[in-house]
Structure 1
Amino acid sequence: MDASTILSRLQFAFTISFHYLFPQLTMGLALLLLILKTLYLLKKDERYNDAVHFWGRIFAITFIVGVVTGLPMEFQFGTNWARFSAYAGDIIAQTLTMEGTYAFFLESAFVGLFLFGEERFGQKMHWVSTFMVWLGTWLSGFFIIASSAWMQHPVGYAVANGRLRLSNYWAVIFNPWILAQYMHTMSGAVITGAFAMAGTGAYYLLARRHDDYARLFVTLGVITGLIASLFQLYPSGDMEGLQVANYQPTKLAAMEGLFQTEKGAGIVIIGQPDAIHGRLDNPIVVPKVLSFLTYRRWSAEVKGLNAFPVDQRPDTIDLLYYSYHIMVGLGTFFIAFMGLAFILLLRKQQLFRTRWMLWILMLLIPFPFIANTAGWFTTELGRQPWIAFGLLPVAQGSSFTLSSGNILFTLIGFVGMYLLLGILYVVLVLYEVLLRGPTPQPKYAEEVVVEGYD
């Protein structure tokens, strides 16, 4: 693989990793906003509506930065991956166009109504706009997953003149790979939103500020976070594992650091892969569990990496292995911590007075971002060396015309611009959380009237 292809991979990995920090939060918050708005209409408690306004502002900031950082992604298909676009563009363009034309348009239109239309159109219409924001956000996620799923498991195509042509649109949309990946991705996004909400509420309780809102944030965040974390394990995680075993056995072997084919293969808790010598150093293994989880038989044979030609194995086994174990390890901790927080919540709301648990909830805020990023690394690195699995190698998908110097120059530019965007985003969110908070602010006109009267 030449230097320009390696740098194109690095640039795409950087830009998409940074970009996905924002959509995972907006997709998670979209569901939580809908829950809060629904509770407001049912309970007529203004705290719920105030919470919608507060998290709606954070949603809007995150949404805008997500749009800005997401724009370069699709352009890179034409600039850095021109041969892939020429080869498979007839298919990939369909799902990406659906995401931009319908889902993103729906989401963007109703975000404006959600942010500015409440007083003019009333509470029921505001609930409708909140629902449509959630629907548009999750539809956008679906079409992006459809694009990724096709690259993982190509379907609905025919080969003509050395290029792929779309032969069955519905086969692409109902690709069997989509369901598990979509459920796993969206539940991961809900975890991010729930942990952000619970952690923010924990901060307010520790700081003895906005106590009523803090209790609401912690309660909803913990309950939703626990449900989503369990859903990540089963059924979505289990379904993901089964389809990887069936369609991408090389990815499964690399994820588990399994170099030799084994009957009754165990699942690795910890260990260090040595790809050069084809072994796993210092492993701690639970016997036979991997065979059961993948094939539902304790003695089932699981193929190791050495059973496949070298040119068909993932080319970054170490990074893939550690990404997978970081994702699974953090997911396990999420279930444990949220389960403990839920127990404390049930015990006469002891959670609100248990400062060490509140500290844990607050400090957990960044870890779902890490887990989701590690999950995407696992998905994409495991597809290697293919850009479209089994059809087109990555080395044959990059552009001819870009030199390594061109790509390095733009990569440095992206790093600089995204750093500035990241700093601006953190400042805006901290302003909302630390200075404004969820307590309603009096309108300027009302303040003028009161001050004039005094």
Structure 2
Amino acid sequence: MNDPTLFSRLQFAFTVGYHYLFPQLTMGLALLLLILKSLYLWRKDERYNTAARFWGKIFAVTFVAGVVTGIPMEFQFGTNWARFSTYAGDIIAQTLAMEGAFAFFLESAFLGIFLFGERVFGQKIHWFSAFMIWLGTWASGAFIIASNAWMQHPVGYVLASNGRLHINNYWAVLFNPWIFPQYLHTMSGAVITGAFFMTGLGAYYTLAKQHLDYGRLFLRVGIIAGLIASAIQLYPSGDMEGNQVAQYQPAKLAAMEGLFKTQKGADIVILGQPDPQNGTLDNPIVVPGVLSFLTYKHWSAEVKGLDAIPPNQRPDTTIALYYAYHIMVGLGTFFLGIMALATLCLWRRWLFTNKWMLWILILATPFPFIANTAGWFTTEMGRQPWIIYGLLPTAQGSSTTVTAGNILFTLLGFAGIYLLLGLLYVILVVVEAVRGPRAEAVGDAADSEAFSLKY
């Protein structure tokens, strides 16, 4: 329990897990903001504009929380992972710097215009600011994923005489084949989070008979976006992610699926309890041959099990990895089912009077956060024991001058600060939700009247 590497891993897992609660919502809401603003310009219905301003405020609060919780992660590269930063900083710094210099400033600058510049610049520029918020937010995600994709599948580098990695092909790093499947999977997951958040609030307004016009609008937009994003999660993004993991990281695939022995016509596991010590899966519920078909498009294809991987190259968190993966997949399947059912109710005009469906949408609101977090834990735990896959073991990437006690002390400090920040965030969002979009519409009308009287 005095291993600094273990504590550094725990600290980074905590800080990144907490931090990602916010970006996944902002990346999802960014697209929904653009959709609402576009619908306003198309239909000339002021409700869409009011809804866009309302969600813009929630976006802004979430954006600030994401920025604050993201800063400690950057510092940990130097404090906890100094040897990793020394070894690969020439490459990782490129994509991280681009995220900060281009995407972050683009997003933050146009967020200010969106929140405060509508009256000054007019509706077309206001729409353009929504577009740039979406572009900046999703570009930010792309650069972060480019950094992570390089750690999963390193390309475009040379080993210099000083023992460090140097970039020798910038475009290979930016167009790493690992990026697109991971990016599509991450962004569709973020849209699911934003869509469920929007539909959950819309369902609450509808049940409470408050802000009914806006509640129904949130339901319509959120359900359609959520259905499309949930379908993309399953195919093509989920299929592409599985194929590249099978090709480049067979140990991760075996651990995710609880496949301890190499098999032809491998079964896919629905439920079961992995026992790494005995190399068995207890009480399994399986679908015969499906894993081989999904992975290699052939029912009798051979899938490598953990027995084909040297013990020192297997993920050291097999049980946690197995359950994180199955939580992600299980919830993703439920999301598709929920949104398909909600779409049916919407189409048949049952939704707004169907209390049980509205309650399902309310209760489902937090689960995309869990699914997305479980997905990232699957990605990162499955890469172990490598911090840079095939190049640098995690144990050789941590700092040598930071003790386990130092890390535990700061971890407890982060936990306390993040608790207070989380409570403040929840209060701000709840207050805004209770005020509702009608308050936004009334305030805008009052501002317009004052503006007219003044000028």
Structures share a fold, TM > 0.5?
yes
Aligned residues: 448
Query: Structure 1's 46 and 314: CA in aligned 2 closer, same or farther, altered over 3 A?
Result: same
| Superposition deviation, residue 306 in structure 1 | 1.2
| Superposition deviation, residue 2 in structure 1 | 5.9
> RMSD across aligned C-alpha pairs, in angstroms?
1.4
Shifted more, 177-186 versus 432-441: the winner is: 432-441
**Equivalent position of 2:210 in the other structure:** 209
**Equivalent position of 1:105 in the other structure:** 105
**Equivalent position of 2:434 in the other structure:** 434
Q: Counterparts of 1:438 and 1:147 in 2: how far apart (Å)?
A: 42
**Equivalent position of 1:452 in the other structure:** none
| Alignment pair present for 1:196 and 2:184 | no
Query: Structure 1's 438 and 79: CA in aligned 2 closer, same or farther, altered over 3 A?
Result: farther
Q: Counterparts of 2:373 and 2:437 in 1: how far apart (Å)?
A: 29
**Equivalent position of 1:246 in the other structure:** 247
Cα shift readout 1:333-379 (whole Å, capped 9, x = no counterpart)? 001111011001001x2111100000000111100000000000000
Q: Secondary structure at the match of 2:443?
A: coil
Q: Counterparts of 2:109 and 2:238 in 1: how far apart (Å)?
A: 33
**Equivalent position of 2:114 in the other structure:** 114
Query: Structure 1's 446 and 280: CA in aligned 2 closer, same or farther, altered over 3 A?
Result: closer
**Equivalent position of 1:369 in the other structure:** 369
Cα shift readout 1:12-50 (whole Å, capped 9, x = no counterpart)? 000000000000000000000000000000100000000
Query: Structure 1's 47 and 277: CA in aligned 2 closer, same or farther, altered over 3 A?
Result: same
Cα shift readout 1:242-296 (whole Å, capped 9, x = no counterpart)? 0000000000000000000100000000000001111110001100000001011
**Equivalent position of 1:267 in the other structure:** 268
| Superposition deviation, residue 432 in structure 1 | 0.4
Q: Secondary structure at the match of 1:418?
A: helix
Q: Counterparts of 1:446 and 1:174 in 2: how far apart (Å)?
A: 48
Instruction: Decide whether the 8 Å contact of 2:211 with 2:436 is kept in 1.
Output: no
**Equivalent position of 1:16 in the other structure:** 16
| Alignment pair present for 1:88 and 2:104 | no
Instruction: Decide whether the 8 Å contact of 2:214 with 2:437 is kept in 1.
Output: no
Q: Counterparts of 2:155 and 2:447 in 1: how far apart (Å)?
A: 61
**Equivalent position of 1:177 in the other structure:** 178
**Equivalent position of 1:187 in the other structure:** 188
Cα shift readout 1:73-108 (whole Å, capped 9, x = no counterpart)? 111000000000000000000000000011111111
Matches within 5 A, 1:1-400: 3-160=3-160, 161-347=162-348, 349-400=349-400
Q: Secondary structure at the match of 1:158?
A: strand
Matches within 5 A, 1:418-429: 418-429=418-429
Q: Secondary structure at the match of 2:146?
A: helix
| Superposition deviation, residue 434 in structure 1 | 1.4
| Superposition deviation, residue 442 in structure 1 | 3.0
| Superposition deviation, residue 441 in structure 1 | 3.0
The one-letter amino acid of 2:228's match is I
The one-letter amino acid of 1:295's match is Y
Q: Counterparts of 1:141 and 1:211 in 2: how far apart (Å)?
A: 34
Q: Counterparts of 1:232 and 1:50 in 2: how far apart (Å)?
A: 30
Instruction: Decide whether the 8 Å contact of 2:51 with 2:437 is kept in 1.
Output: no
TM-score, L = length of structure 1: 0.97
Q: Unaligned 5+ residue runs, structure 2?
A: 451-455
Query: Structure 1's 445 and 181: CA in aligned 2 closer, same or farther, altered over 3 A?
Result: closer
Instruction: Decide whether the 8 Å contact of 2:274 with 2:280 is kept in 1.
Output: yes
Q: Secondary structure at the match of 2:273?
A: strand
Q: Counterparts of 2:21 and 2:163 in 1: how far apart (Å)?
A: 37
Q: Counterparts of 1:419 and 1:278 in 2: how far apart (Å)?
A: 39
Runs of 4+ in 1 over 2 A off after TM superposition: 435-439, 441-449
TM-score, L = length of structure 2: 0.97
